[in-house]
């Protein structure tokens, strides 16, 4: 949390999609940070301790995909909320850390901001919807 | 047929049967000497048919059949202590790639208990196995490729949706924003279909789950207050081809957008019902709202892109459009009757 605004980190390798995701985060009134892959995301999480939520893609180049990243974050920064989006229509729910939300692409911006609002309000029931 | 130089003589018919066997076959004595070898055996394993009689199994060809495991199994079979069923063994010959063989052996049961002979059938499964492996690989490659394509399609649709939503958030004009949001909804309608198709095994789309997902997505993007407005979907167990479903989905998208935009002014409560049912080749799709009803005469809105899309798609599906007063509200029904379509002598929509 930064100056009362929740901080959301967008992790996405496609530039246009990342721009769109940052735009929707800003439009929802949060502060937005961005990373192109898991390594960049981890560097950001390490350098600042105020990230409240990570919104990540699944298929990304680099050492970790979004699913591995989600588990890594849940392990190392347990309070950080997670939203995962993928081009795959269905992902085994068990492959994601508990309490994270899954959306298939293309996602609806409103559905994402709704999930962000619920997760940031601490409502665990926001997890695991398609 | 030369007389076998064994103490026991075999009936010429027995030898002829062995020699003419389609499946590579060896007829052996108890101590593994060849009484007869089928022509197919000699051909398959490049053995001179003139140089087989009375030879020990291990002397055939360049000695490649002297496999200790095979010899011991055949001896055990001859003594009655084992039986070889589909025993797999590799045949290794100089200047040849190893061949995978399946060997079946049994003693000949002709009532002559003192004269033990073995019938050994040898099938070369190398090509068959390679083919099966190739087929498995192709199937796996195809599934992976398909998944990759689906990911790409989903990502491309996401790029389009992201650009449209960014534009919608930036434009100043309410009207332009509305158009951009509609364009976004049309993209999401096709995305919902893509999602259904990616989980379909036969290329057909279940209308109910497709419309449910579609209306969920339309509602999420267009309904600010779900307490006030809702969309209900009632669909039978119909499944339709992808081409038809994309048209049906776009029609539903346009009609639902239209109802949400015009039927419930001034914070009016309401409900939109999307219904689809089919019987044989006939089907009916209807979108009904309980809003203010269609204005007529001077107040009637000009037909926009939405109604143009609905008309064109309905025509393409050989459907009749009917707009009626739902008292309160409006019902738009598109019905397709196969008989009427045939009478009109038009090409089938399928």
Whether the pLDDT of residue B160 is over 80: the answer is yes
Q: Are residues B220 and A90, on separate chains, in Cβ contact within 8 Å?
A: no
Whether the pLDDT of residue B100 is over 60: the answer is yes
Residues 6+ apart with CB under 8 A from A41: A9, A11, A35, A54, A56, A69
DSSP alpha helix (H) spans, B21-120? 39-44, 68-78
Considering chain A, what percentage of its residues have pLDDT values greater than 90?
A: 68
Give contacts of A 22-81 with B, CB under 8 A.
Answer: 23-24, 27, 59
Q: What pLDDT, in 10s, does the model give residues B182-225?
A: 899 889 888 888 888 887 778 889 999 999 989 988 888 888 88
Instruction: Kindly state the DSSP code that residue B50 receives in the 8-state scheme.
Output: G
Q: Tell me how long chain B is.
A: 350
Distance from B157 to chain A by nearest Cα, in Å? 6
All residues of chain B having their beta carbon less than 8 Å from the beta carbon of residue A105 are 154-155, 157-158, 191
Q: Are residues A71 and A42 in contact, defined by beta-carbon separation less than 8 angstroms? A: no
Distance from A88 to chain B by nearest Cα, in Å? 6
Q: Are residues A88 and B150, on separate chains, in Cβ contact within 8 Å?
A: yes
User: What average pLDDT does range B25-54 have in this prediction?
Assistant: 92
Structure-block tokens of residue B296: 């007529």
Chain mean pLDDT for chain B: 87
pLDDT at residue A123 in the model: 53
Q: What pLDDT, in 10s, does the model give residues A49-102?
A: 899 999 999 989 988 999 999 999 999 999 999 999 998 766 666 788 888 999
Q: Are residues B167 and B180 in contact, defined by beta-carbon separation less than 8 angstroms? A: yes
Residues 6+ apart with CB under 8 A from B24: B38, B40, B41, B44, B45, B121, B122, B123, B124
CA distances from B234 to B32, B37, B200, B285, B324 (A): 76, 72, 21, 10, 19
Q: Please check whether residue B260 touches A, CB under 8 A.
A: no
Residue B104 half-sphere exposure, CB side, CA atoms within 13 Å? 10
CA-based nearest residue to A105, from A7, A21, A8: A21
Distance from A38 to chain B by nearest Cα, in Å? 18
Instruction: Classify each residue of B243-266 as buried b or exposed e, where b means 16 or more C-beta atoms within 10 Å of its C-beta.
Output: ebbbbbbbbbbbbbbbbbebbbee
pLDDT at residue B300 in the model: 65
Q: If you measure CA to CA, which chain B residue comes closest to A21?
A: B162
Confidence of residue B64 (pLDDT cuts 50, 70, 90): very high
Q: If you measure CA to CA, which chain A residue comes closest to B188?
A: A106
- Torsion, Cα of B325, B326, B330, B333 (10° steps): -90
DSSP characters over B176-239: HHHHHHHHHHHHHHHHHHHHHHHT-SSSEEEHHHHHHHHHHHHHHHH-S-TTTEEEEEEE-S-E
Whether the pLDDT of residue A10 is over 60: the answer is yes
Q: Are residues A90 and B199, on separate chains, in Cβ contact within 8 Å?
A: yes
Q: What pLDDT, in 10s, does the model give residues B268-296?
A: 999 999 999 999 999 999 999 999 887 76
pLDDT at residue A1 in the model: 57
Min mean pLDDT across B22-26, B64-68, B304-308, B312-316 is at B304-308
Q: What is the phi/psi pair of residue B321, to 5°?
A: -95, 130
Q: Are residues A2 and A31 in contact, defined by beta-carbon separation less than 8 angstroms? A: yes
Structure-block tokens of residue B33: 């000497």
CA-based nearest residue to B230, from B268, B198, B197, B199: B268
Peptide bond into A106 cis (omega under 30): yes
Whether the pLDDT of residue B338 is over 70: the answer is yes
User: What average pLDDT does range B327-343 have in this prediction?
Assistant: 84
Q: If you measure CA to CA, which chain B residue comes closest to A105?
A: B154
**Measured at the alpha carbon of residue B188, what is the angle toward residues B223 and B262, in degrees to the nearest 5?**
40
Q: Are residues A41 and A15 in contact, defined by beta-carbon separation less than 8 angstroms? A: no
* Superfamily of A7-126 according to CATH: Response regulator (3.40.50.2300)
Whether the pLDDT of residue A127 is over 90: the answer is no
In chain B, what are the domains? 12-124 (3.30.450.20), 130-343 (3.30.565.10)
pLDDT at residue B193 in the model: 85
Give contacts of A 14-33 with B, CB under 8 A.
Answer: 14, 16-17, 19-21, 23-24, 27
Q: Give the pairing type, strands B229-235 and B270-279.
A: parallel
Considering chain A, what percentage of its residues have pLDDT values greater than 70?
A: 88
pLDDT at residue B335 in the model: 95
CA-based nearest residue to B309, from B250, B259, B261, B257: B250
Q: Are residues B324 and B331 in contact, defined by beta-carbon separation less than 8 angstroms? A: yes
pLDDT at residue B114 in the model: 79
Q: Are residues B221 and A106, on separate chains, in Cβ contact within 8 Å?
A: no
- Measured CA to CA, the distance from residue A47 to residue A34 in angstroms comes to 13
Considering chain B, what percentage of its residues have pLDDT values greater than 90?
A: 52
Number of Cβ within a 10 Å radius of residue A35: 22
- Measured CA to CA, the distance from residue B44 to residue B22 in angstroms comes to 11
User: What average pLDDT does range A1-11 have in this prediction?
Assistant: 85
Q: Are residues A14 and B155, on separate chains, in Cβ contact within 8 Å?
A: yes
């Amino acid at each position: 949390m930064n100056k009362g605004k929740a901080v959301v980190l967008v992790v996405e390798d496609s530039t246009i999609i990342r721009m769109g995701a940052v735009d929707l985060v800003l439009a929802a009134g949060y502060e937005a940070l961005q990373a192109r892959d898991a390594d960049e995301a981890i560097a950001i999480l390490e350098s600042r301790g105020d990230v409240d939520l990570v919104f990540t893609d699944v298929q990304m180049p680099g050492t970790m995909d979004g699913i591995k990243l989600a588990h890594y974050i849940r392990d190392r920064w347990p309070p950080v909320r997670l939203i995962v989006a993928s081009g795959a229509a269905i992902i085994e729910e068990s492959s994601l850390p508990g309490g994270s939300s899954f959306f298939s692409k293309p996602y609806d911006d409103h559905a994402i901001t709704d999930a962000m609002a619920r997760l940031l309000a601490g409502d665990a029931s926001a997890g695991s919807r398609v | 047929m030369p007389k076998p130089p064994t103490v026991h003589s075999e009936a010429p018919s027995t030898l002829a049967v062995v020699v003419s066997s389609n499946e590579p076959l060896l007829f052996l004595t108890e101590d593994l000497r060849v009484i007869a070898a089928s022509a197919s055996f000699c051909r398959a394993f490049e053995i001179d048919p003139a140089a087989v009689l009375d030879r020990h199994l291990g002397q055939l060809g360049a000695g490649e059949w002297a496999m200790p495991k095979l010899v011991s199994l055949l001896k055990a079979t001859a003594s009655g202590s084992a039986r070889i069923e589909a025993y797999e063994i590799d045949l290794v010959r100089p200047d040849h790639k190893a061949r995978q063989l399946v060997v079946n052996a049994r003693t000949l049961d002709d009532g002559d208990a003192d004269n033990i002979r073995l019938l050994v059938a040898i099938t070369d499964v190398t090509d068959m196995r390679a083919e099966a492996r190739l087929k498995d690989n192709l199937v796996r490659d195809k599934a992976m490729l398909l998944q990759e394509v689906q990911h790409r399609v989903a990502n491309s649709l996401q790029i389009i949706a992201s650009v449209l939503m960014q534009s919608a958030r930036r434009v100043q004009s309410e009207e332009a924003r509305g158009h951009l949001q509609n364009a976004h909804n049309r993209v999401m309608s096709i995305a919902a279909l893509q999602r259904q198709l990616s989980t379909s095994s036969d290329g057909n789309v279940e209308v109910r789950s497709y419309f449910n997902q579609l209306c969920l997505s339309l509602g999420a993007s267009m309904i600010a207050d779900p307490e006030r407005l809702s969309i209900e979907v009632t669909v039978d167990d119909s499944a339709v081809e992808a081409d038809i479903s994309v048209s049906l989905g776009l029609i539903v998208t346009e009609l639902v957008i239209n109802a949400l935009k015009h039927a419930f002014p001034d914070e009016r409560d309401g409900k939109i019902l999307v219904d689809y049912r089919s019987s044989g080749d006939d089907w009916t799709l209807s979108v009904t709202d309980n809003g203010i009803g269609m204005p007529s005469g001077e107040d009637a809105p000009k037909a926009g892109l939405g109604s143009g899309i609905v008309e064109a798609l309905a025509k393409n599906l050989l459907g009749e459009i009917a707009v009626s007063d739902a008292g309160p509200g409006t019902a738009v029904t598109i019905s397709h009757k196969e008989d009427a379509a045939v009478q009109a002598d038009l090409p089938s929509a399928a």
